[in-house]
Amino acid sequence: MSHRIEREFWGRPLVIETGRMARQADGAVYLQFGETAVLVAAVAERKRSNLPFFPLTVEYREKSYAAGKFPGGFYKREGRPGDKETVSARQIDRPLRPLFPDGFQNETQVACFIISADQENDADVLGMLGASAALSLSPIPWNGPIAGVRIGRLDGEWVINPTFQQLEFSETDIVVAGTEDSIVMVEGAAVEISEDLFIEALEVAHEAIRELIDLQKELVEMAGGAPEPFEWEGPDIPEGLEDAVREAAEARVQEALNLPSKDERNQALSALRDQLTEELAERYPDHLQQVGEATRALEKNVMRRQILERGERVDGRALDQIRPITCEVGVLPRPHGSALFTRGQTQALAVTTLGTVSDEQRIDSIDVLEETSKSFMLHYNFPPFSVGEVRRFRGPGRREIGHGMLAERALQPLLPPYDEFPYTIRIVSDILESNGSSSMASVCGGSLSMMDAGVPLRAAVAGIAMGLIEEGGQTAVLTDILGIEDALGDMDFKVAGTEQGITAIQMDNKSGGLEVAVLRQALERAHQARLHILEIMARTLPRPRSELSEHAPRIITVEIDPDKIGKVIGPKGKTIRAIQDETGAEINIEDSGVVTISSPGGEGGERARQMIEALVEEPEVGRVYEGVVKNTTSFGAFVEILPGVEGLCHISELEDKRTENTEDVVKSGDRVRVKLLAINEKGQLKLSRKAVLAAEQN
């Protein structure tokens, strides 16, 4: 039996339905907002997995048929997910994960299919709502519901779930997820908004979230109430094992955690786990895996207690202290721009490459009918050696794509307008060392790298990662978190921006939700940290370089009449190829008539510009031209004054005396200076050599 609710939500119809599709899943819902629709199904295994972590997978897949399109490629079927799908899957995963019960390790999958796309409403927040509803309708143990909304700001007013068209003019593009009482996840970008404005956005978004949670509760009641959660096995920990681990290892864990170096700390903790396993092997021979898990739990407890009770971090820093920072620019001789940003044991090598319109990334998305292009991109790479490990090198994973997208969004608002700086910009951030907040190191390095390349950024951008320890009514906010503080803490809150405000933000937490007051405190600390980092960056490179690298292409933009594009291209591309061959420049022409000319040096591009302008130039009466005699007749000579533009210099206009024979004065192929006297109603040009000679004599 199907159950359906229809509501008006921020001016558009919202439909949520269950019981009609995917009925063999543990929970499934169909949602529609406007004419964008998603199907979300949730399923969990009934047996506990043997994996040492909770195996939750969220799949977000856009179907080409949703927009009435065929998939690209030879096979004409959907392949691996694109960047938008990957980021959306992570965005849905992050608010769901902390709400599963501690110790639950049954394999769980949430699949979100985008099955209709209206090119107005983004499906990602709809997928988040559907994932929560599907889990709430299922017997899978879960402490939801949650909901997510996107919040924009247009003309000083907040807008929930703005359309794609509205987002083009919005100051913010922030996705907020939460429960009835708290915020669980935040991710998005903004145009240098203040911390106070960001908090206001969270509060407005939370009101809309509560409305969507009430809607889910209504659907669950309509469907007969929430099913009884199925029985699941928790970790098999024998009585007394955790006490035995604590008695045997607490002091040694404390000592190992406070070693100053990450490598020393990791080696000491690894050796301690091995020792403890040997020591307790006789008492717990069948539970050695649980000994390791109990040891890691002890490490977490000791670190958190040390921070909350004594305000001491494992590397000896104060709670609001940033690790030592060094910045270098121009570190590589050939690339167009480069920077090495190091903060403690986290290091990013950021390299900027400038290209032309032909280097833009082409994107075929169901969110728009036509193919679009992207002229700014940041690619983040996390090689295994950055953490001292040996692993196979593969293509970018979900984490790398997500981190790159976050850093890209942090920098994008500060780019110059494309018509002022018509370059395609690619930044690659290779993480050479990692001990926390490598994505924010990519923001800092990327900003310096672009400035080194001569990209006229409006302002430098820096980022910082904040952490949180919250337990027993005590709270500690940490500035510039280490990897271990991220892993064992309750929050990873990344904030990037300029001196003026926030440009990108991402918050995850593991405790099931945070109050706005805690986020406000973290934002205030992040603001101070950001200013500190920007000051250090400014000492290295206070402003973008005034000149581009000698190795970067030079780009010239020319606008021509769209009706004359064919003249520039020529028959079968003959004319434009001839210009490119002669000058060595690359030429791209848009349908609007914008011509982009690029060349390794400025000379070839300038020559190509002159040739194109000559091709499309309109003849001007009264102007003197230097032309080529194309043909002679008994009544005069035909002279080409502009490419493809010829006029007649009558025999009487060749010189200031009577001329009997045209070829006594000029022959085919001669270069002559002539003045354009008139253009008749048929468009024919009347030229005079005599007028030029008279002017020269005077």
User: How does pLDDT run across 481-502, given as a tens digit for each residue?
Assistant: 999 999 999 999 999 999 999 9
pLDDT in tens, 288-320: 788 888 888 899 999 999 999 999 999 999 999
pLDDT of residue 319: 96
Q: Which tens digits make up the pLDDT trace of 90-149?
A: 999 999 999 999 999 999 999 999 999 999 999 999 999 999 999 999 999 999 899 999
Label residue 211 by pLDDT band (50, 70, 90).
Answer: very high
For residue 189, list its beta bridge partners.
173, 504
Distance (Å, whole) CA 342 – CA 326? 5
Q: Is 25 helix (H, G, I), strand (E, B) or coil?
A: coil
CATH number of 325-540: 3.30.230.70
Q: Across residues 248-265, what is the average pLDDT?
A: 87
644-672: average pLDDT: 91
- Identify the bridge partners of residue 148 per DSSP, sorted by sequence position: 177
**CA–CA gap between residue 81 and residue 402 (Å, rounded):** 13
**Which structure tokens are listed for 220?**
């669950």
Mean pLDDT estimate for the chain? 94
Domain ranges of the chain: 3-222, 241-310, 325-540, 554-616, 624-697
What is the three-state SS of 251-301?
A: HHHHHHHCCCCHHHHHHHHHHHHHHHHHHHCCCCCCCHHHHHHHHHHHHHH
Please compute the mean of the pLDDT values over residues 589-602 and round it to a whole number. 88
Domain 624-697, second-level architecture: Beta Barrel (2.40)
Q: What CATH number was assigned to the domain covering residues 241-310?
A: 1.10.10.400
Average pLDDT over residues 258-286: 86
Q: What is the pLDDT of residue 307?
A: 94
pLDDT at 58 > cutoff 90: yes
Cα–Cα distance, 409 to 500 (Å, whole number): 16
Contacts of 571 (CB under 8 A, 6+ apart): none
Strand partners, 190: 172
Question: Does domain 554-616 correspond to CATH entry 2.160.10.10?
Answer: no
**Residue 75 banded pLDDT, cuts 50, 70, 90:** confident
| In the chain, % of residues over pLDDT 70 | 100
Is residue 86 predicted with pLDDT exceeding 90? yes
| Percent of the chain whose pLDDT exceeds 90 | 75
- Which pLDDT does position 228 carry in this prediction? 96
Do 624-697 and 241-310 have the same topology in CATH? no
At 472 the pLDDT is 82
First to last CA, the chain: 100
Q: What is the mean pLDDT of residues 225-244?
A: 89
| pLDDT recorded at residue 295 | 87
pLDDT (average), residues 562-580: 90
The mean-pLDDT minimum among 327-331, 534-538, 600-604, 675-679 falls in 600-604
- Segment 441-465 shows an average pLDDT of 98
Residues 6+ apart with CB under 8 A from 698: none
pLDDT in the model for residue 424: 96
Packed helices 124-136 and 195-222: angle between N→C axes, nearest 10 degrees: 40
Distance CA 451, CA 550 (A): 15
Q: State which CATH number among 3.40.50.150, 3.20.20.140, 3.30.70.1400, 3.30.230.70 fits the domain covering 3-222.
A: 3.30.230.70
Per DSSP, 473 falls in state T
Examine the pLDDT at 49 and tell me if it is beyond 80. Answer: yes
Give the amino acid at 70: F
Amino acid 415: pLDDT: 98
Query: Tokens at residue 456, please?
Result: 């006229």
Whether 283 and 231 have beta carbons less than 8 Å apart is answered as: no
pTM above 0.85, yes or no: yes
Mean pLDDT, residues 622-631: 92
- pLDDT recorded at residue 511: 84
Q: What is the DSSP letter of 514?
A: B
- Cβ-based neighbours of 592, under 8 Å, separated by 6 or more: 562
pLDDT at residue 601 tops 80 = no
| Predicted confidence band of residue 408 (pLDDT cuts 50, 70, 90) | very high
